[in-house]
Structure 1
Amino acid sequence: MRRFSAIAGSALFLVVAPGVVAGLAPFLLTDRYRLPLSTLPGFAPVGWVLVVGAAAMLLHAFARFALEGLGTPAPVAPTERLVVGGIYRHVRNPMYVAVLSIILGQALLFSSRALVVYGAIVGAAMASFVRLYEEPTLARRYGAEYDAYRRAVPGWLPRLTPWRG
């Protein structure tokens, strides 16, 4: 039952948080994606790679929370265990990196300065949230285990080799 609740809660949070931040808001900022596709050579394919690759990374990260951590990314229903498998062996904040990559990919696809500005604002908000709330909360909850993980795995720029802690 705990696993089903974790999957359902994570799926709901996926729609509510990243769905709004990386889906609904860019949709509205680009006039419902009515902006023309990028006319700059090479930008549209790079945009597609970012959007599709980051979406896969986001789904993987959410699945890890539900299946490995038996919880959700939502602060009201945290994981029972610290999630350090899969993509989390390369970067501590893959969900935030994925959401920002999706926004950047859409900015490239639609040549949208508004999405670039929006992405910068979202990135600043995420970095502040991580620094002021998430990291202290995880340190209190998981103690030395989180401290070792935090020292070994970068927060925002993925390491090339997986951490094997």
Structure 2
Amino acid sequence: MHALELKIVPLLQVVIIIALMLLTDALVPFFGFNNPFFLMTGMILWIVAITVAIVALWQFKRHQTTVHPQKLADAQTVVSSGLYAYSRNPMYLAMLIAVLGFAIWLENIVNIVWVLCFFAYITRFQIVPEERILAEKFGNPYLEYKANVRRWL
């Protein structure tokens, strides 16, 4: 296990990336587009992200399993219906959509770098370790689910 695996909770990762985007926007403002289309697109992506997150959380609660990413030992079942039939990580997908929406809303193309950093970091240090733990905990049911459903979408 790498020292950074499962150390920074995903919501904090989002906050850090958004802070870095705001800093980038303040320091490198000349890469903006100045177009209302980007503002609206960013807002729509935030609405989509919030909707996906709420539905994904509700599905975990309905199956009475933990939503806490650092308490995977408390997981009760492999949730494979609803949004989870299309993505193994709809909560993280919602976070990625939110980060992308914020980057677009800021209208600064440099912030796309932070979106890519978030994608890479959460995949390597959150999702991959979670998949390893869930495979150990649930065995074949999780491995079959993993083989049939994509990580992101």
TM-score range, shorter chain: 0.7 to 0.9
Between 21-30 and 79-88, report the one with greater CA deviation.
Answer: 21-30
Corresponding residue number in structure 2 for 1:92: 88
Cα distance in structure 2, aligned partners of 1:25 and 1:59: 21
Normalised to the residue count of structure 1, the TM-score between the two structures is 0.71
Work out whether residues 47 and 108 of structure 1, in 8 Å CA contact, stay in contact via their aligned partners in 2: yes
Provide the aligned length of Structure 1 versus Structure 2: 138
2:138 maps to which of 142, 145, 158:
142
Summarize the alignment of residues 1-165 of structure 1 with structure 2, pairs less than 5 Å apart.
17-18=10-11, 20-23=12-15, 25-27=17-19, 29-30=21-22, 39-40=34-35, 42-77=37-72, 78-129=74-125, 130-131=127-128, 133-157=129-153
2:60 corresponds to which letter in structure 1? F
Which structure features the higher share of helix residues? 2
Cα distance in structure 2, aligned partners of 1:147 and 1:21: 27
Work out whether residues 47 and 104 of structure 1, in 8 Å CA contact, stay in contact via their aligned partners in 2: yes
Q: Unaligned stretches of 5+ in structure 2?
A: 1-8
CA apart distance, 1:41: 5.3
Identity %: 25
Structure 1 pair 67–109 and aligned structure 2 pair: CA distance change class (3 A): same
CA apart distance, 1:25: 4.3
CA apart distance, 1:28: 6.1
Cα deviation digits, residues 36-79 of structure 1 (max 9, x gap) = x9623522222111111011111221222233142223222532
- What SS class does the counterpart of residue 42 from structure 1 fall into? helix
CA apart distance, 1:113: 3.8
Question: Greater relative contact order: 1 or 2 (C-alpha under 8 angstroms, separation 6 or more)?
Answer: 2
Work out whether residues 17 and 118 of structure 2, in 8 Å CA contact, stay in contact via their aligned partners in 1: no
Cα deviation digits, residues 1-55 of structure 1 (max 9, x gap) = xxxxxxxxxxxxxxx642x333464156326x988x9623522222111111011
Work out whether residues 103 and 115 of structure 1, in 8 Å CA contact, stay in contact via their aligned partners in 2: no
Work out whether residues 10 and 122 of structure 2, in 8 Å CA contact, stay in contact via their aligned partners in 1: no
Q: Unaligned stretches of 5+ in structure 1?
A: 1-15, 158-165
Normalised to the residue count of structure 2, the TM-score between the two structures is 0.76
